């Protein structure tokens, strides 16, 4: 098993998680039984540690233009506070990775890539963003990302309020969709 752990690893261990290797990270796979956890999410809420995902912050006056150039979608059209699914392609239009890009501000984005493609995406974004003079910062090792899934959207805030790591997090970013909300914060 890998030695790379998310910042929430100790909390998972204390909660009785069993772990598995996922793209070089020790990730919790279950706490009790698959059926019990399925029912817990369906009846209340599930909090999922996504901290192994690559989190890459793009900032600068020309960040929207840089991402329009670097990715397969028009990221400058994404409203602040929203997210868009897109692709990072190679020169032959093959897929390097699929991404979710959060627009945090007028000139600030958070690109979330798959853990196994972290370095390839960082390299592609850094190379493509260079002419635009924007910052590309791999914040994966310093970022906690959790997803909350429930059947009642307001429940995520109650679940978050009970997390022992919450007081240590700053710069929280949220996005919403019809049935899910995600949260990323720096700890």
Report if residue 19 sits inside a domain. no
- Domain CATH for 73: 3.30.70.1400
The answer to whether residue 29 is domain-embedded is: no
| pTM for the predicted model, two decimal places | 0.79
Closest CA to 142 of 41, 55, 84: 55
- 168 pLDDT band (50/70/90 cuts)? very low
161 lies in some domain: no
Q: Which of 40-44, 62-66, 98-102 has the lowest mean pLDDT?
A: 40-44
Note the pLDDT tens digit of each residue in 116-152. 999 999 999 999 999 999 999 999 988 888 877 766 5
Judge whether 42 lies within some domain: no
Annotate 116-142 with b (16+ C-beta within 10 A) or e (fewer). ebbebbbebbbebbeebebebebebee
CA dist 18 and 31 (Å) reads 6
Residue 65 belongs to what domain range? 54-138
Residue 60 lies in a domain: yes
Classify residue 107: in a domain, yes or no. yes
Looking at the predicted structure, is the pLDDT value of residue 94 above 50?
yes
User: Which of 6, 12, 33, 46 lies closest to 145 in space, CA to CA?
Assistant: 6
In a domain, 90, yes or no: yes
Domain count, the chain: 1
Q: Does 101 reside within a domain? A: yes
- Tell how many helices (H) and how many strands (E) occur in the chain: 5, 12
Q: What is the DSSP letter of 116?
A: G
């Amino acid at each position: 098993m890998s030695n790379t752990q998310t910042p929430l690893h100790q909390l998972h261990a204390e909660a009785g998680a069993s772990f598995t290797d996922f793209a070089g990270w020790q990730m919790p796979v279950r706490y009790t039984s698959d059926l019990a956890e399925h029912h817990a999410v369906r009846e209340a809420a599930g909090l999922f540690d996504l901290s192994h995902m690559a989190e890459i912050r793009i900032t600068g006056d020309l960040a929207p233009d840089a991402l329009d150039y670097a990715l397969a979608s028009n990221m400058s059209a994404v409203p602040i506070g929203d997210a868009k699914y897109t692709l990072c392609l190679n020169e032959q239009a093959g897929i390097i990775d699929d991404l979710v890009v959060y627009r945090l501000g007028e000139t600030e984005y958070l690109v979330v890539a798959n853990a196994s493609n972290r370095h390839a995406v960082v390299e592609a974004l850094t190379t493509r963003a260079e002419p635009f003079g924007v910052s590309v910062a791999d914040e994966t090792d310093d970022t906690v990302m959790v997803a909350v899934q429930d059947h009642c959207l307001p429940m995520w805030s109650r679940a978050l309020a009970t997390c022992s790591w919450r007081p240590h997090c700053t710069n929280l970013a949220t996005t919403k969709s019809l049935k899910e909300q995600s949260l990323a914060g720096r700890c």
